[in-house]
Amino acid sequence: MLKPVPSSFRQRNRASEAHMLRTLNTFAVDLMSIPCVEDLFWYVAQNVVGKLGFMDCVIYQADEVQTKLTQVAAWGEKNPYGRNIINPLVIPFGRGITGQVAQSRKPIIVDDLVGDENYIPDSEPARSEICVPLICGGRVMGVIDSEHPDIEAFGEPELEILSTVAAMTSAKLELLAETERSQERYEDLVAVHTQLTKETSTRKVLEAKLFESRKQEAIGRLTGRFAHEFNNLLTVISGNIELLALDAPDTGSLDTLQDAKTASARGAQLIRDMLAFAQRTRLTPETVDLNRLVSAFGEDCEQSLARPVERHLANDLWPVAADPAAVENMLLALALNGIEAMPNGGSLKIATENVFHTLPEGQHFPSELTPGRYVRLSVSDQGTGIGRDQLLQIFDPFFTTKGVGEGTGLGLSMVLGVMRQSGGTVAVTSEVGQGSSFELYFPAAPCGTELPSEDQ
C-alpha cells in the first residue's frame, strides 16, 4: 500500500536530488572500507539517520535457519544508548511488519500504523513505517526498518533510497561472507601446510636418528670383529717377541725387540679402545663415589699436565656402579681433548651433579636415556669448540682432526662405548670459539646402596 507522501523528505529530495545521489555515492564508498558485519549494520543504521535524513533506523539480522529476526543495530530517538542495544528485539518471520518483509522478501510501507494489526508498538509510538529486506545469495539476511511520528511519511522516493541502501548493504554482506570464507580456506591451508611441515621435519629427525643408530651399530660390529682378529695376530706377535727376547744375542737386538714390544703394547691399547667402542670391553663395575675418583684424578692431572683443573663436586652425590679404571680412562681421554682444544691455555672444569633424567630431546647427542636418576660427570673446556657438522662425527671411531700419527680418533668412541655398556650415555654441547662440555650420565645405584669405606 504505497502512497505518495508530500513529507519533508520529499520536499528535501526534490530540492536536492543531486545531493542525495552524492550522499549515496559517499555511502557506497564508505561501505567498501568497513571490515566486519557488525560495523556494517551500525554504519548503515547511523547514516540512514545522519546522512539520509530518516528519523530512525533499526536493522534486524535473520538467523541461519530463516525463522527469526534479531535487532542488531538501531539509531535515532529510539536508541539512546549509542552503539549498544539493551534487550535486542527478536521477531519471528511472518510476525509484525518486519517479520512479514522477511518472509515475503518484499518491502512494505505503512501509511498509518494506528489500527494496523501488524504493528508491534514499542516505547516510542510511531504513525508510519517503511521496511525493506536485505537479500544476499538468495537468502534473507535481515531487514532495514524506519518509523516516523507522522502519518504517510514514506513514499516512492524513500522506498527508492532505502532499497538502494539495502542493495548496497546486501552486496557488502556478500563480500564480507566471501572474505570470511576465503580467510577460513586460507587458514585451513595454512594449518594443513604447518601440519605437513611438522610431519616432514619430525620424519627427517627420526630418519637421521635411525641412520645414526644403524651407522653406530654397523661400525660397532665391524670394529669389534676387526679388533678381535687383530688381537689374535697381536697375541702371536707379542708371544714371539717374548720368545726372541729370551735368546737375544746382544743388547742391540734387545733394544730392537723392546721397540717392537712397545709398538705391540700400543697396538693392544688401540684394540682395547676399539673393543670398548664395540661395547665388548671387560668392565668390572663396583659401587663408587665419583667425587672421590674426580678429586684424585684432578690432583694427578694438575701435576702431570701442569694445567689448573677446577672441581665442582656436588654434595651427597649418589653412588654409581662403574669400573673405576674405565672411569679414569674416560676422564683422561676427555681432559686431554679439552687441553688440546686450548692451545693458548685455559682451565679445565670437572663437575659432578645428581640429575633426574632431563636430557632434552634433540639438544644433546646422543639422546637415548630412559627416565630415572643419573649422576652427571662433566668435563668442560674454554677451547676452540666443535662445529655442527663435526658434532655428528666425533664419536665415530677413527674420526680425528689431528695430523697423521697424532691422534687415533678412538678417545671419544671408547668413552661412548663404555658409557653405553654401563647403562648410561655421553652428551656434548659445544659452541665454536666458546668451548665444549662433555657430560657422562651414569645410572645412579639403587637407593640405599652403601659406599665401601675410604680405605677399602
Ligand X SMILES: Nc1ncnc2c1ncn2[C@@H]1O[C@H](COP(=O)(O)OP(=O)(O)OP(=O)(O)O)[C@@H](O)[C@H]1O
Among positions 7, 408, 421, 425, the unique one binding ligand X when judged by CB under 6 A: 408
Question: Which of residues 367 and 390 has its CB atom nearest to ligand X in the complex?
Answer: 390
As to burial, measured by CB atoms within 10 angstroms (0-12 exposed, 13-18 middle, 19+ buried), residue 271 is buried
CA dihedral 194, 196, 202, 207 (to 10 degrees): -150
**Residue 341 binds: one of Mg ion, ligand X, none (C-beta under 5 to 8 A by kind):** ligand X
Phi, psi of 212 (to 5 degrees): -60, -45
Say if CB 307 and CB 339 are below 8 A apart. Answer: yes
Residue 425 CA to residue 368 CA, distance in Å, equals 7
Q: Is the dihedral of CA 14, 18, 20, 24 positive or negative?
A: positive
Residue 52 CA to residue 144 CA, distance in Å, equals 13
Question: Which DSSP string corresponds to 288-352?
Answer: E-HHHHHHHHHHHHHHHH---EEEEPPTTPPPEEE-HHHHHHHHHHHHHHHHHT-TT---EEEEE
- Residue 378 binds ligand X (CB under 6 A): no
Q: How far is the CB of 322 from ligand X (least distance, A)?
A: 20
- Residue 269 binds ligand X (CB under 6 A): no
**Residue 400 binds: one of ligand X, Mg ion, none (C-beta under 5 to 8 A by kind):** ligand X
Among positions 337, 378, 380, 422, the unique one binding Mg ion when judged by CB under 5 A: 337
Among positions 140, 288, 377, 412, the unique one binding ligand X when judged by CB under 6 A: 412
Nearest alpha-carbon partner for 394 in 407, 377, 411? 411
Question: Which of residues 62 and 350 has its CB atom nearest to ligand X in the complex?
Answer: 350
Place of cell 656436588: 314
**Residue 338 binds: one of ligand X, Mg ion, none (C-beta under 5 to 8 A by kind):** ligand X
Residue 134 CA to residue 142 CA, distance in Å, equals 5
Nearest alpha-carbon partner for 301 in 349, 345, 269, 342? 349
DSSP assignment letter at 444: B
Place of cell 523528505: 9
Q: How far is the CB of 369 from Mg ion (least distance, A)?
A: 24
- Per-residue contact flags (x/-) with ligand X for residues 385 to 404, judged by CB under 6 A: -x-------x----xxxx--
Name which of residues 398 to 417 contact Mg ion (CB under 5 A).
411
**Residue 436 binds: one of ligand X, Mg ion, none (C-beta under 5 to 8 A by kind):** ligand X
Residue 167 CA to residue 157 CA, distance in Å, equals 15
Which range touches Mg ion (CB under 5 A), out of 6-14, 192-200, 335-343, 417-425? Answer: 335-343
Nearest residue to ligand X, scored by beta-carbon proximity:
411
Phi, psi of 183 (to 5 degrees): -60, -45
Name which of residues 188 to 207 contact ligand X (CB under 6 A).
none
335 Cβ neighbours under 8 A, 6+ residues apart: 297, 301, 305, 309, 348, 350, 379
Which range touches Mg ion (CB under 5 A), out of 119-127, 228-236, 330-338, 386-394? Answer: 330-338
455 Cβ neighbours under 8 A, 6+ residues apart: none
Q: How far is the CB of 382 from ligand X (least distance, A)?
A: 10
- Site size for ligand X (CB under 6 A): 21
**Residue 408 binds: one of Mg ion, ligand X, none (C-beta under 5 to 8 A by kind):** ligand X
- Residue 426 binds ligand X (CB under 6 A): no
Question: Which of residues 20 and 412 has its CB atom nearest to Mg ion in the complex?
Answer: 412
Question: Which of residues 72 and 410 has its CB atom nearest to Mg ion in the complex?
Answer: 410
Q: Is the dihedral of CA 440, 444, 445, 448 positive or negative?
A: positive
Residue 431 CA to residue 436 CA, distance in Å, equals 6
Among positions 157, 298, 338, 366, the unique one binding ligand X when judged by CB under 6 A: 338
Q: How far is the CB of 245 from ligand X (least distance, A)?
A: 28
- Residue 436 binds ligand X (CB under 6 A): yes
**Residue 221 binds: one of Mg ion, ligand X, none (C-beta under 5 to 8 A by kind):** none
Q: How far is the CB of 407 from Mg ion (least distance, A)?
A: 6
First to last CA, the chain: 114
Among positions 337, 352, 378, 421, the unique one binding ligand X when judged by CB under 6 A: 337
Name which of residues 149 to 208 contact Mg ion (CB under 5 A).
none
Question: Which of residues 320 and 330 has its CB atom nearest to ligand X in the complex?
Answer: 330
- Residue 383 binds ligand X (CB under 6 A): yes
Which range touches ligand X (CB under 6 A), out of 70-78, 234-242, 334-342, 418-426? Answer: 334-342
Which range touches ligand X (CB under 6 A), out of 36-44, 45-53, 332-340, 417-425? Answer: 332-340
Residue 272 CA to residue 118 CA, distance in Å, equals 102
Which residues are at the interface with ligand X (CB under 6 A)?
Answer: 333, 337-338, 341, 381, 383-384, 386, 394, 399-402, 407-413, 436
